[in-house]
Structure 1
Amino acid sequence: MALTHWAFIYTAPGLSSDGHRTVVDEGGARTVLVGVPAPSDGPAVARELVAEGVQLIELCGGFGPVWTAKIIEAVDGGVPVGAVGYGPEAVDQVHAIFAT
């Protein structure tokens, strides 16, 4: 089966908790970008995306391993979930960006 519909969820303070959506649809490939204000909003958005038919979800590095695991649990194996990871050389810089 070809990948034709996937989503990327990212965090950005100030966004609506139901998710700011941008859709890129090029006919054969549909990408849904969803911004949420906090990682805790991710599980609900992920469940909605699965219900809408996405085949795969990727998460920005701001979710970290704890919220990534919670989102994997929330979709209950419905689709694969992956997360952006950063190497040790970037940890301090990433922490500074996402620290609240």
Structure 2
Amino acid sequence: MKFAFLIMGEFDSEKDRQSIHGGAAQIIGVSNIEEACREAKQLQREGIDCIEVCGAFGEKGVEAVIQATDNQIPVGYVVHLPKQDKLFQALFG
């Protein structure tokens, strides 16, 4: 299985990327949803089996990635439990 995890923040997807396990697992930093969708389409063309995105995407961002890949591959969404809301708010604002 080939897997990618997209994280969003102050990243440049051309430089902020890494792979392990012979390229089977990748992490790619993107700066916005549009860049994430472009990366997701490219990953799909390269035969990725699954994409996971960080919580910064929000539900609308996850939907955009699903739409960009024509709902043809699984796209997961990393979130936290509500009891940790204050901790995440303090960290990310």
Please state how far the C-alpha of 1:90 moved relative to its aligned partner. 2.4
Q: What is the TM-score with the length of structure 2 in the denominator?
A: 0.83
Task: State the percentage of identical aligned residues.
Answer: 28
> Which of 65, 69, 73 does residue 79 from structure 1 map onto?
73
Amino acid at match of 1:57: I
User: Which residue of 1 is the match for residue 27 of structure 2?
Assistant: 33
Residues 82, 47 of structure 1: CA spacing in aligned structure 2 closer, same or farther, 3 A cutoff? same
**Residues paired across the two proteins, number:** 93
Conserved 8 A contact 1:61-1:84: yes
Q: Which moved more, 1:57-66 or 1:34-43?
A: 34-43
Q: Which protein has the bigger helix share?
A: 2
Please state how far the C-alpha of 1:40 moved relative to its aligned partner. 3.6
Amino acid at match of 1:34: I
Residues 19, 43 of structure 1: CA spacing in aligned structure 2 closer, same or farther, 3 A cutoff? farther
Residues 53, 37 of structure 1: CA spacing in aligned structure 2 closer, same or farther, 3 A cutoff? same
User: Which residue of 1 is the match for residue 49 of structure 2?
Assistant: 55
SS at match of 1:9: strand
5+ residue gaps, structure 2, are: none
SS at match of 1:8: strand
